[in-house]
Amino acid sequence: MISKKSKTILIIGILSLVLSPIPVVGFGLAVVGLYQFYSDTMIKTSMKAEIGRTLSIIGLLINLIATAYVLFFMPFGNAPAWLTSLRDAFYSTSFYIDFENNFIAEARYNYILKGLGTTFEVTFFAALLGIALGVIVALVRSSYATLKEELRGGLGKAILWILNQLCGAYLTVIRGTPVVVQLMIIYFVIFASSNNKVLVAVLAFGINSGAYVAEIIRGGILSVDKGQFEAGRSLGFGYVRTMAFIIVPQAFKTVLPSLANEFIVLIKETSVSGYVGLQELTKGGDIIRSRTYSAFMPLIAVAIIYLVIVMFFSWLISLLERRLKNSER
């Protein structure tokens, strides 16, 4: 019964999100989905029901925005008198005048949209680079800690020692200096002749994130019981196959929530990209401020967008953690 109701709430949530631009239909579906969720205390333990609840909330918010847009901005041939007076009163408020000056005039909202796209682009590729670097560094450091007693000398141990020292220096330098300084060094010193600001930002934030990802993954590897190594050896696996098929999958399962939190931190860190002239989200709001000499509305809009993004990914992390806990049972 709970499973069937959970699927129903999920379907209603999806429909409420898809049909959210339609004022009456989207609102009604969202209300029905939320009522179904909160009317049954047992259903709150279901992940499908929670996803449906969240989609219904998002659909409801979009529907309210769409309804407000229709009421205040859509042209009507024969608008009723109450709607005309309501629109006139709204257009004369200081809030709307400030809103129009900051976002509508000269299509200044495009600065926000373009900056948001750049923020996601930099964050995505920097996260990929950070994960790749983090995995390599974590494997080198954990391998050296595990094999330094087994390797009795020779070229292999020398190479592993050198790599471990390089990784240690990388972690010390990157974690010991501010990310904005690293960004400026890469842009003004290392890539001084390059005009590709997105590439510079991806490299700077990816290298910075890689240091923290490396320690997260290394902690996950160290948290795996040493008996797992012995189990792999007893199955005839070498060190590399034991790490690849036994240790690393368990470690990733442990550190996935921490990696997701690092992704959230990375999104907010990209706000300093404006130091090298990259027009990301924060810089877009600052450009509007410089055009209108009004700081409140563009900066509050930027803050709200960051808050919504972080809340969304935090919700995804909570779902991920619940899924991992359920899979352990």
Give residue-wise pLDDT tens across range 248-279. Answer: 888 887 888 888 888 999 999 999 998 888 99
Domain boundaries for CATH 1.10.3720.10 within the chain: 109-328
Q: 37 or 176, which is more confident?
A: 176
Residue range 109-328 forms a domain whose CATH class is mainly alpha
DSSP sequence for 84-135: HHHHHHHHTSHHHHHHIIIIIGGGTHHHHHHHHHHHHHHHHHHHHHHHHHHH
Quote the pLDDT of residue 221: 84
Calpha distance 174→258 (Å, rounded): 19
CA torsion angle 177 211 168 238 (round to 10): 180
Mean pLDDT in residue range 34-59 = 81
Tally the residues of the chain: 329
Calpha distance 161→165 (Å, rounded): 6
- Residue 112 reports pLDDT greater than 90: yes
- Are the beta carbons of 67 and 27 closer than 8 angstroms? yes
- Residue 168 reports pLDDT greater than 60: yes
Split at pLDDT 50, 70, 90, the class of 174 is very high
Measured CA distances, 28 to 56, 63, 282 (Å): 10, 10, 36
pLDDT digits (tens, 9 = 90+) for 274-325: 888 899 999 999 999 999 988 899 999 999 999 999 888 888 888 777 776 6
Q: How many CB atoms lie within 10 A of CB 10?
A: 21
